[in-house]
């Protein structure tokens, strides 16, 4: 069965610093991978997704992620954190190719300090 | 605004009761998904419907049921409610049947069982 592990439930960075949120997946076949963001009292919004095209995926709000098959990782990065990036971030993997079911990690709360 | 509408936004009910959560997908989307978000379980997939037919099922309790109507809106019915059912229930929709097409999430219904 597919699964994702997000390393670190809380990450704190200073404004302007690099953001790195870690995600490792477990999949027996090449997966589709996603990063979603959830702001307080809101639903999830797709940041970016990997669907077996380019391994470096660029998303919204300056975020990007790199698919590394050898490391089974899909870490999310942003060169310079902004206060508005404070939110909860979820990594997800598709269950299989036939449905839209997503399996989510436990989430990482990003705190941005001024 | 994702275009996915969930009602009600908040619901407080007693143990043993039954409630119905409603979801209107984005215009043109044929798939509807239900997810449960709780502190201890995280984001869990419950069920997917595509054009009125059940497409995928997660760890949905027997006390829970869902359906998608001809106009494509969906309802999630929760019965014999227990304290542990308290959670945020998200609906999402997408155009296609698989995870290649982006899933858009509603703002959720927060269910509190007392």
pLDDT tens-digit profile of B60-108? 999 999 999 999 999 999 999 999 999 999 999 999 988 888 899 999 9
Q: Which residue of A3, A4, A43 to mutate against B (max B Cβ within 10 Å)?
A: A43
Alpha-carbon span A91 to A52, nearest angstrom: 16
Instruction: Tell me what pLDDT residue B14 has.
Output: 98
pLDDT score, position A52: 78
- The residues with which A43 forms a beta bridge, in sequence order, are none
Distance CA A79, CA A64 (A): 9
pLDDT at B1 over 80: yes
Q: What is the pLDDT of residue A31?
A: 79
C-beta atoms of B33 and A41 within 8 A:
no
Mean per-residue pLDDT of chain A: 92
Bridge partners (DSSP) listed for residue B14: none
Contact A42 B42 (CB under 8 A): no
B21 close to B35: Cβ distance less than 8 angstroms: no
- Is the Cβ pair B97, A98 closer than 8 Å? yes
Select from A42, A49, A103 the Cβ nearest to the Cβ of B107: A42
How far B82 CA lies from chain A's nearest CA (Å)?
23
Residue A44: closest CA among chain B residues belongs to which residue? B105
- B51 — pLDDT class (breaks 50, 70, 90): very high
Give the pairing of strands B104-105 and A108-113: unpaired
- Check A99 against B97: CB less than 8 A apart: yes
| Mean pLDDT calculated for residue range A69-92 | 96
What's the burial of B38, exposed, middle or buried (CB within 10 Å: 0-12/13-18/19+)? middle
């Amino acid at each position: 069965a597919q699964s994702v592990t997000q390393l670190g439930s809380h990450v704190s960075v200073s404004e302007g610093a690099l953001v790195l949120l870690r995600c490792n997946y477990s999949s027996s076949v090449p997966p589709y991978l996603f990063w979603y963001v959830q702001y307080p009292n809101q639903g999830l919004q797709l940041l970016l997704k990997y669907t077996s095209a380019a391994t470096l995926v660029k998303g919204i709000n300056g975020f990007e992620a790199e698919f590394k098959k050898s490391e089974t990782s899909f870490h999310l990065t942003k060169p310079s954190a902004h206060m508005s990036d404070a939110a909860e971030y979820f990594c997800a993997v598709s269950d299989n190719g036939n449905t839209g079911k997503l399996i989510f990690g436990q989430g990482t709360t990003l705190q941005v300090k001024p | 605004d994702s275009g996915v509408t969930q009602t009600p936004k908040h619901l407080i009910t007693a143990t043993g009761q039954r409630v119905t959560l409603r979801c209107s997908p984005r215009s043109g989307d044929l798939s509807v998904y239900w997810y449960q978000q709780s502190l201890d379980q995280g984001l869990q997939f419950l069920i997917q419907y595509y054009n009125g037919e059940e497409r995928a099922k997660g760890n949905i309790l027997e006390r829970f049921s869902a359906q998608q109507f001809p106009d494509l809106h969906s309802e999630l019915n929760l019965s014999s409610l227990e304290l542990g059912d308290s959670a945020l229930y998200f609906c999402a929709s997408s155009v296609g049947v698989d995870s290649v097409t982006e899933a858009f999430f509603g703002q959720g219904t927060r269910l509190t069982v007392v």
